[in-house]
A and B are shown apart, each in its own frame.
Chain A
């Protein structure tokens, strides 16, 4: 695979690709894909959390300490706004847990 943004020599040659993405391990390719997505999303989530830790550490050296952050009391308006955002977040990420699928893919409309 050539580097995308360089004309420099790479000393690379064509590889024989693996077919790992064609593997179906869970009896349903959608399940396989979902597992991959969940792990990837968590990698990104941890990356974000870790960046926040770095930011807190850097801010602490500039006077905004963890203590200040932990003890921060949101205003009434902030509290309302944050709760709304929390509920939206929960609904978006976990709302599908309440879905009640029972119809086969081939099932027609019960009525139209």
Chain B
């Protein structure tokens, strides 16, 4: 997802009248009401399209998918996600409730992940919803990957041409050693972020249906543009350079460049295919955001270089020790008085109520959110606060329902 703990926040359940559902509802309500300038087709930021036999036009700033069948398959998986949330998950929750009652477990009692694993092994019925969700997720990815691989030369040529074009820069590092932690197929996306040449294409279109089913439309980057709009700036008002760590397909990077057109904006990501797609997309929109293949824990930028450093749903996709290194790197490259705002889920806590822990477990294990349990084993906000940043109190949430982590680099 973006780097998304896909079900963790989506565990809508009558059983869980708890923070998770509250966060999701809050976010859904928020995104159902926002209006993003230029989001309608044909307005500023509209893509100009690409040449080639597979062009099917544009929908605002989104290039339409390359074939009608692919578009329809994605349309189906979106509908299935929505139906799953409304019906299948409810049935699974009911099965879970029955299991808890049979086992005499209080549904509000915090359990560890080990306790939940033991519990769910006793009743396949509660896993039916997970199986359906995962099968649909696999189809989402497979249809996209198949399409791009069937048309590989065309799309590789398109990226090659864009690699050298502007207005923004692209820096690839093919000799860079990719750490093992970043080579996993997060969200069971085939190839993950580094292993498929079309990782960016696949991720972008695959996550569109995810966003629609969970938060609201994002085909015009509505959610990322909203986040960029909420991004706080340094007290002195100076914003010359911005860094977006773990930028994925560059949606937040581009949105930040749109908000701060005079600033030098960089999006970095470990995945070469991800930054290539990010750059291609930005170039197509005529937006001068820059992209580089870099590790967030070792950016190579000079000390005190950036006025704003941010990231979006990156930290839950890396081990806790890497997160600590990333925070240290952010502290190094953020100028005194500059803003550091890592956007990610609320974290902290290795025990929670059974239904929520079940969601966390299966998302971690079977949706391949390899590092999410480590993420929840620490408190990201506290980690940042301990490393040379001052937290701004009563700050605004850049992403409703997520952790509010507005920090200022201390002098």
Binding site for B on A (CB under 8 A): 1-6, 8-18, 20, 23, 25-27, 32, 35-36, 39-40, 42-44, 46-47, 50-51, 54
Asked if A15 contacts B194 (CB within 8 A), the reply is: yes
Asked if B192 contacts A15 (CB within 8 A), the reply is: yes
Asked if A5 contacts B196 (CB within 8 A), the reply is: no
Measured in the bound complex, the distance between the Cα atoms of B136 and A10 in whole Å is 27
The stretch that binds A, out of B127-135, B230-238, B372-380, is B127-135
Query: Shortest beta-carbon distance, A80 to chain B, in Å?
Result: 32
Measured in the bound complex, the distance between the Cα atoms of B274 and A10 in whole Å is 11
Asked if A8 contacts B160 (CB within 8 A), the reply is: yes
Measured in the bound complex, the distance between the Cα atoms of B199 and A14 in whole Å is 12
Asked if B183 contacts A12 (CB within 8 A), the reply is: no
A36 with B191: in contact, given A4-B152, A12-B272, A14-B183 (CB under 8 Å)? no
Most buried by A among B136, B153, B197, B199: B197
Binding site for A on B (CB under 8 A): 68-69, 71-73, 75-77, 79-80, 124, 127-128, 130-132, 134-136, 138-139, 143, 145, 148-150, 152-153, 156-157, 160, 172, 174, 178, 180, 183-185, 188, 190-192, 194-199, 272-273, 276, 293, 366-368
Query: Shortest beta-carbon distance, B341 to chain A, in Å?
Result: 29
A5 with B152: in contact, given A23-B134, A25-B127 (CB under 8 Å)? yes
Asked if B196 contacts A1 (CB within 8 A), the reply is: yes
Query: Interface residues of B: mostly helix, strand, loop or mixed?
Result: helix
Query: Shortest beta-carbon distance, A64 to chain B, in Å?
Result: 19
| B residues in contact with A39, CB < 8 Å | 80, 132, 135-136, 139
Asked if A43 contacts B139 (CB within 8 A), the reply is: yes
Measured in the bound complex, the distance between the Cα atoms of B410 and A31 in whole Å is 57
| B residues in contact with A42, CB < 8 Å | 76, 80
Instruction: Return the contact of A25 from the options B72, B130, B183, B192 (Cβ within 8 A).
Output: B130
Instruction: Return the contact of A50 from the options B72, B139, B199 (Cβ within 8 A).
Output: B72
Instruction: Return the contact of B197 from the options A10, A20, A26, A40 (Cβ within 8 A).
Output: A10
Asked if A26 contacts B368 (CB within 8 A), the reply is: no
| A residues in contact with B157, CB < 8 Å | 8
Measured in the bound complex, the distance between the Cα atoms of B152 and A4 in whole Å is 7
Asked if B172 contacts A20 (CB within 8 A), the reply is: no
Measured in the bound complex, the distance between the Cα atoms of B194 and A8 in whole Å is 16
Measured in the bound complex, the distance between the Cα atoms of B149 and A15 in whole Å is 17
A32 with B160: in contact, given A3-B152, A13-B178, A16-B180 (CB under 8 Å)? no
Instruction: Return the contact of A27 from the options B75, B124, B366 (Cβ within 8 A).
Output: B124
| A residues in contact with B76, CB < 8 Å | 42-43, 46-47
Asked if A1 contacts B72 (CB within 8 A), the reply is: no
Instruction: Return the contact of A43 from the options B130, B143, B194, B195 (Cβ within 8 A).
Output: B143
A11 with B276: in contact, given A1-B190, A2-B197, A18-B185 (CB under 8 Å)? yes
- A11, closest chain B residue (CB): B272
Measured in the bound complex, the distance between the Cα atoms of B79 and A12 in whole Å is 31
Asked if B127 contacts A13 (CB within 8 A), the reply is: no
Asked if A36 contacts B135 (CB within 8 A), the reply is: yes
